[in-house]
Structure 1
């Protein structure tokens, strides 16, 4: 029972701290534009990626052994 004497005030203090943090975030404007980020995500304003040229794949040349057939087959 003596543990409850400490746990209840600690829980109330933690709740009050969380509430104070939430109220601070409301007053500082953290929740003002909820739809803006969702709309910006859908906008396509990025430049297109450059296309790869055939024969410039570094992974294929790094993993193949010289003199061996890459597809030995049966």
Structure 2
């Protein structure tokens, strides 16, 4: 029983940390251009 008193707050804390990280990536624009990276790898750059 004493293990649950420790594990439940730790699990809730880790869940909130993951949620915070996900919201931070949404606000910083990580998911704005999903097709750009996939298309950039197919085209050669002539900048050399």
Structure with greater helix share of residues:
2
Question: What does 1:1-74 correspond to in 2, within 5 Å?
Answer: 1-46=1-46
**What TM-score do you get using the length of structure 1 for normalisation?**
0.59
Aligned to 1:64: none
Task: Give the CA RMSD over aligned residues.
Answer: 1.3
Q: Where do 5+ consecutive residues of structure 2 fail to align?
A: none
**What TM-score do you get using the length of structure 2 for normalisation?**
0.89
1:8-58 deviation per Cα after TM superposition (whole angstroms, max 9, x unaligned): 0100000000100100100110111110000000002257xxxxxxxxxxx
Moved over 3 A (4+): none
Higher relative contact order (CA 8 A, sep 6+): 2
Structure-2 separation of matches of 1:9 and 1:34: 35
SS at 1:8's partner residue?
Answer: helix
Greater Rg, structure 1 or structure 2?
Answer: 1
Q: Where do 5+ consecutive residues of structure 1 fail to align?
A: 48-74
